[in-house]
């Protein structure tokens, strides 16, 4: 992601961030992929705000969070910290689009809300989520494979893509290794 694109993302996010900080009466925490200097508006964003990395697991917060170029683990950590408001600065990424649809995020560039999942789509996601409550097993567990298959068939029948399924499982807190097993099962169906 170029500095220009990042600066545009931060610029678009700024009014939402200021409103969230006013409502929470606290400054947002900014989660970065590392402790490097990023330049441009990123440095301005972090100048008066606490910064953490995705590895700052001991940090406890409940106010607004801005997550910059998050990984799956990073976005899940940011969700736990966010206290209800989470800004994400990232290039369009498949799973991140699925995550944004599941959480009904707002695209700060356009001000438009991501299309919300229908009730039928949420039910299909719930089926898949339930089948993975202990992580998704390999192909040997035929009962769970059938459960996943039914959920995926239902999800596809209501217009969900694999990206939507992956992003939704991220939003629901499934770990990356577990989701990779799920996606392997889906590919084999």
pLDDT of the chain, 189 residues: tens digit per residue: 455 677 788 888 888 888 999 998 888 888 887 766 667 778 888 888 888 888 876 777 778 888 887 888 888 888 888 878 888 887 666 888 899 999 998 888 788 888 889 999 999 999 999 988 777 877 777 888 888 889 999 999 999 999 999 999 999 999 889 999 999 988 887
Residues 14 and 81 in one domain: yes
With respect to residue 153, please indicate whether it lies within any of the assigned structural domains.
Answer: yes
With respect to residue 107, please indicate whether it lies within any of the assigned structural domains.
Answer: no
CA 63 to chain centre: 17
Residues 77 and 152 in one domain: no
Residues 80 and 139 in one domain: no
- Check residue 154 and give its pLDDT: 95
The DSSP annotation for 11-47 comes to HHHHHHHHHHHHHHTSPPEEEESSS----HHHHHHHT
pTM of the model: 0.84
With respect to residue 167, please indicate whether it lies within any of the assigned structural domains.
Answer: yes
Residues 81 and 138 in one domain: no
- Check residue 1 and give its pLDDT: 46
- 74, 91, 108 - which closes a domain: 91
**Residue keyed to tokens 């220009």:** 4
For residue 83, give its domain range. Answer: 3-91
Residues 77 and 140 in one domain: no
Looking at every residue in the chain, the average pLDDT score rounds to 85
- Check residue 39 and give its pLDDT: 72
Residues 65 and 131 in one domain: no
With respect to residue 102, please indicate whether it lies within any of the assigned structural domains.
Answer: no
Residues 59 and 9 in one domain: yes
- Check residue 161 and give its pLDDT: 94
- Check residue 36 and give its pLDDT: 66
- Check residue 3 and give its pLDDT: 56
Residues 13 and 81 in one domain: yes
Q: 23: which 2 tokens?
A: 């409502």
Number of domains in the chain: 2
Integer Cα distance of 165 and 106 in angstroms: 19
C-alpha neighbours within 13 Å on the C-beta side of residue 178: 19
- Check residue 89 and give its pLDDT: 83
- Check residue 147 and give its pLDDT: 87
């Amino acid at each position: 992601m170029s500095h220009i694109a990042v600066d545009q993302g931060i610029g678009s996010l700024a009014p939402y961030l200021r409103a969230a900080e006013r409502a929470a009466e606290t400054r947002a925490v900014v989660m970065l992929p590392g402790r490097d200097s990023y330049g441009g508006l990123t440095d301005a964003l972090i100048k008066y705000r606490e910064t953490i990395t995705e590895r700052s697991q001991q940090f406890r917060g409940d106010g607004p969070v801005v997550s910059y170029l998050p990984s799956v683990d990073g976005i899940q950590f940011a969700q736990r910290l966010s206290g209800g408001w989470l800004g994400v600065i990232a290039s369009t990424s498949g799973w991140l689009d699925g995550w944004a649809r599941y959480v009904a995020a707002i695209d700060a560039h356009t001000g438009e809300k991501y299309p919300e999942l229908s009730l039928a789509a949420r039910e299909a996601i719930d089926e898949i989520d339930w089948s993975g409550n202990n992580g998704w097993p390999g192909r040997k567990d035929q009962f769970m494979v059938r459960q996943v298959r039914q959920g995926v068939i239902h999800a596809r029948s209501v217009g969900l893509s694999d990206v939507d399924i992956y992003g939704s499982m991220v939003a629901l807190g499934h770990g990356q290794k577990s989701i990779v097993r799920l996606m392997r099962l889906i590919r084999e169906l």
